[in-house]
Structure 1
Amino acid sequence: MRVEDMKGGYTTGSCATAGMKAGLLALLDHTTVDSVYIENPQGQHIEVPIKSVEVISDTEAKVTVMKDGGDDPDVTHGNDVETTVSLDTTGELMFKAGFGVGTVTKPGLAMPPGEPAINPGPRAMMKIVFNEFCTRGQGVTVTVSVPNGLVLAKKTLNHTLGIEGGISIIGTTGIVKPMSEEGFKNSLIPQLKVMKANGCETAILVPGRIGQDLAERVLGISKNQMAETSNFIGFMLEQAAHIGFKRILIIGHIGKLIKLANGSFHTHNRMSDGRMETIVAYAALEGASQAVCEELFNCQTTESTFPILEREGLNGVYQRIVDRASLRSERYIGGEAQVGIIITTLDGRILGVDQRAQEIGAIEHWNIPCMS
């Protein structure tokens, strides 16, 4: 299905804003509604269905809205967002994190440490509602809860970013558009900003769990200094350099990072491959015969080449891969940062470490072994 044919939805921020509006309608106008229109910061109006309204007292109401992400693969899709509205006489709009909504614990995010993880976009939308209903010195405290939030948070980057206790209430426009590649890439950037704000001088980029586990377990690197890249290694390299990191270490499985050696920085298999061709070329440079090159060329995975390379004494191929990947990576970002490379097997055994990675490890006092 094409992105333009997919159904959109609304954000957790829209859910909370709709809940706030429905709650104020119940308390101030004594009206119970099954949907409301809310306004986003861009001036667009969004209709949001209301699942339930519970008037707790003359000054408090709880509204439940089910998050609908449309056709977007969102972990919060189908989950309830509960918004409790409490009236007071402060004349101010206050926000609280209820159960399942996180609290910011590290600098570098949209909200400062100590604040509920309710982002500026949702706060702006709720301010519009506040200004509409509370014109005579009325104050409102909005508490947002997500009953399944603790479970959902484990499927997000919140813990890495420094958001504890649940998910974030997010959305800059209030509208969920089916996830574009650009949107997913941009969702990875906050990892780097948090690292920089917390004083990290070297950025560790890991395409996935293999690199992360090795960095933490073997090299003694904190998770707080790592950013996941998925397949967008080139994009994250550019972002790390732009944010100001002068040293970058990329750690991951050979099947992913060998693509950097041949100049492919979007590593999804539909976008780039050439793994076997690269191994064959480097094996030939190491002195492999045509017959061995043919054998390697017919392998289906990088892991299946290991026994052949071992048998033929061609382990120098791994060093060529990391050296070339480092060179290509530094070229990719115009020499704005030093880039070291470490490649591993599926079970976390280190195959190759380039000189730049050794130098970075020495500066940071990490346990990076010498492979040469």
Structure 2
Amino acid sequence: MDDKDKPMRKGITTGTCAAAAAKAAILAWQGQHISIVEVISPQGVTLTVPIVETKIITGGGCGTVIKDSGDDPDITNGVRIESKVVLTDKPEIIIKAGQGVGTVTKPGLAVAVGEPAINPGPRAMITRAVAECLPEGKGAVVTVSIPEGEKLAARTLNPILGIVGGLSIIGTTGIVEPMSEEAFKDSLVPQISVVQALGYNDIVFAPGKIGQDIAINRYGIPAAAVVQTSNFIGHMLENAVKYGMRRVLLFGHLGKIVKVSSGIFHTHNRMADARLETIAAYLAANGAPQEAVKEVLAVTTTEAAMPIIDRYNMTGVYQILAERASARAMRYVFGDLTVGTVIVTLKGDILGLDQTAREIGGHLGWKLDIK
């Protein structure tokens, strides 16, 4: 069997790691320094987890697991996840965030503001794993730590979601399925609930970090209202409807927005790429000479097309493309959202925008430096 035909290896979630480390910590306190434990997933599946280190501390124990994400390209693969458990005389289990585990600072997530960023599934797993080993009448304080967590969190959506100080302990099933496109798409959606929970009915969708930074830093759009869609603009529009958002401002580089203008809502270049053809078509429809159309079709990037558009005095096409992107986006969600569009260069200069974009941007208090 070729490697490409082999089934992808599953892994375990950070929640499973934390639960296993906590169980190993209790067993260490009881004098059992074991190399493997079993924990139960929220769906009742028994998971076997290797333990790399245990030790006894005053009043309890510590356990450590190395996260194994299987064949999933998870940022936490290979990191140490530690649980320290201290027994108490009060029969309850309290879970705290240690080093490298974030704290929730914005509403709209599965965990309340001020609480450790440990989701309900992992909380249930940790609580069950510890309760199985506690003496009758005893409780425990469980502190979960990820020593590298704060550094790694800067490369996740946590800062946008308002999770500060580290990573989240997540996992609804306890098992990591090798990353699918659907899983990544779904990981973007909580940004919408955070924006809504902060009181916004209007939301700004930026396909990437460059557009997000331009919207916030150059045009003064509130950071709390701006979310990244990656290539999944259609998916995020659909979820904006589900969350009851009223208006969406698409804000991005010509290379992404022009795809929306032609009805492409998954903008990865391997899915669809009609950027230059779309620009050429709209140039032709608005009176550009044949030479201009041919020159645009001969280049390889939208940035390279911009000087051609300038040279032929056809910059009005950008507003048309913005209007078209808004119309196609509203058609995509059957009119359940009002959409405006802003098209920018990589440097952040606005090329085109429609009237709805002006209205949404004005409502959000942007500092527009064009008339």
TM-score range, shorter chain: over 0.9
For the Cα contact (< 8 Å) 2:26–2:62, is it kept in 1? no
Equivalent residue, structure 1, for 2:271: 271
SS in structure 2 at match of 1:356: helix
Length-normalised TM-score, structure 2: 0.96
Equivalent residue, structure 1, for 2:14: 12
- What is the alpha-carbon distance in structure 1 between the residues aligned to residue 344 and residue 194 of structure 2? 27
Q: Which amino acid aligns with 1:229?
A: T
- What is the alpha-carbon distance in structure 2 between the residues aligned to residue 119 and residue 3 of structure 1? 34
For the Cα contact (< 8 Å) 1:252–1:342, is it kept in 2? yes
- What is the alpha-carbon distance in structure 2 between the residues aligned to residue 219 and residue 343 of structure 1? 13
Equivalent residue, structure 2, for 1:137: 137
Deviations 1:220-245 (A, max 9, x none): 11221111100000100111121011
Equivalent residue, structure 1, for 2:109: 109
- What is the alpha-carbon distance in structure 1 between the residues aligned to residue 6 and residue 190 of structure 2? 27
Superposed displacement of residue 337, structure 1 = 1.3
- What is the alpha-carbon distance in structure 2 between the residues aligned to residue 243 and residue 204 of structure 1? 14
Deviations 1:10-48 (A, max 9, x none): 1111111000111111223x2111111111010111111
Q: Which amino acid aligns with 1:55?
A: I
Superposed displacement of residue 9, structure 1 = 0.6
Give the direction of change, closer, same or farther, for the CA distance of 1:228–1:46 in structure 2 (3 Å limit).
same
Equivalent residue, structure 2, for 1:284: 284
Q: Does 1:253 align with 2:248?
A: no
SS in structure 2 at match of 1:82: strand
Superposed displacement of residue 60, structure 1 = 1.6
Deviations 1:257-293 (A, max 9, x none): 1000000000000111111110111111221222221
Equivalent residue, structure 2, for 1:148: 148
For the Cα contact (< 8 Å) 1:104–1:115, is it kept in 2? yes
SS in structure 1 at match of 2:132: helix
Q: Trace 1:153-232 onto structure 2 (pairs within 5 A).
A: 153-232=153-232
For the Cα contact (< 8 Å) 1:106–1:161, is it kept in 2? yes
Equivalent residue, structure 2, for 1:41: 42
Equivalent residue, structure 2, for 1:332: 332
- What is the alpha-carbon distance in structure 1 between the residues aligned to residue 209 and residue 129 of structure 2? 42
- What is the alpha-carbon distance in structure 2 between the residues aligned to residue 229 and residue 104 of structure 1? 22
Superposed displacement of residue 360, structure 1 = 1.2
Give the direction of change, closer, same or farther, for the CA distance of 1:145–1:197 in structure 2 (3 Å limit).
same
Give the direction of change, closer, same or farther, for the CA distance of 1:99–1:216 in structure 2 (3 Å limit).
same
For the Cα contact (< 8 Å) 2:220–2:365, is it kept in 1? no
Superposed displacement of residue 209, structure 1 = 1.6
Shifted more, 286-295 versus 170-179: the winner is 286-295
- What is the alpha-carbon distance in structure 2 between the residues aligned to residue 321 and residue 3 of structure 1? 43
Q: Which amino acid aligns with 1:116?
A: P
SS in structure 1 at match of 2:220: coil
Shifted more, 183-192 versus 219-228: the winner is 219-228
SS in structure 1 at match of 2:55: strand
Length-normalised TM-score, structure 1: 0.96
- What is the alpha-carbon distance in structure 2 between the residues aligned to residue 146 and residue 128 of structure 1? 21
Deviations 1:105-137 (A, max 9, x none): 111111101111111011111122233223611
- What is the alpha-carbon distance in structure 2 between the residues aligned to residue 133 and residue 360 of structure 1? 56
5+ residue gaps, structure 1: none
Equivalent residue, structure 1, for 2:92: 92
Equivalent residue, structure 2, for 1:123: 123
- What is the alpha-carbon distance in structure 2 between the residues aligned to residue 281 and residue 193 of structure 1? 38
- What is the alpha-carbon distance in structure 1 between the residues aligned to residue 296 and residue 105 of structure 2? 50
- What is the alpha-carbon distance in structure 2 between the residues aligned to residue 265 and residue 274 of structure 1? 12
Equivalent residue, structure 1, for 2:33: 32
Give the direction of change, closer, same or farther, for the CA distance of 1:272–1:3 in structure 2 (3 Å limit).
farther
For the Cα contact (< 8 Å) 1:353–1:370, is it kept in 2? no
CA RMSD of aligned residues (A): 1.4
SS in structure 2 at match of 1:100: coil
- What is the alpha-carbon distance in structure 2 between the residues aligned to residue 98 and residue 365 of structure 1? 38
For the Cα contact (< 8 Å) 1:3–1:178, is it kept in 2? no
Runs (4+) of structure 1 exceeding 4 A deviation are: 1-4
Equivalent residue, structure 1, for 2:358: 358
- What is the alpha-carbon distance in structure 2 between the residues aligned to residue 331 and residue 4 of structure 1? 41
Equivalent residue, structure 1, for 2:52: 51
SS in structure 1 at match of 2:295: helix
SS in structure 2 at match of 1:292: helix
- What is the alpha-carbon distance in structure 2 between the residues aligned to residue 213 and residue 23 of structure 1? 44
5+ residue gaps, structure 2: none
- What is the alpha-carbon distance in structure 1 between the residues aligned to residue 181 and residue 155 of structure 2? 19
Deviations 1:184-227 (A, max 9, x none): 01101111101101111211111112211111122211221111
Deviations 1:57-110 (A, max 9, x none): 3x2211111111111111111110111011111100001110111111111111
- What is the alpha-carbon distance in structure 2 between the residues aligned to residue 139 and residue 238 of structure 1? 45
Superposed displacement of residue 363, structure 1 = 2.5
- What is the alpha-carbon distance in structure 1 between the residues aligned to residue 283 and residue 72 of structure 2? 44
Kindly tell me the number of residue pairs found equivalent between the two proteins.
369
Give the direction of change, closer, same or farther, for the CA distance of 1:4–1:261 in structure 2 (3 Å limit).
farther
For the Cα contact (< 8 Å) 2:103–2:117, is it kept in 1? yes
For the Cα contact (< 8 Å) 1:358–1:370, is it kept in 2? no
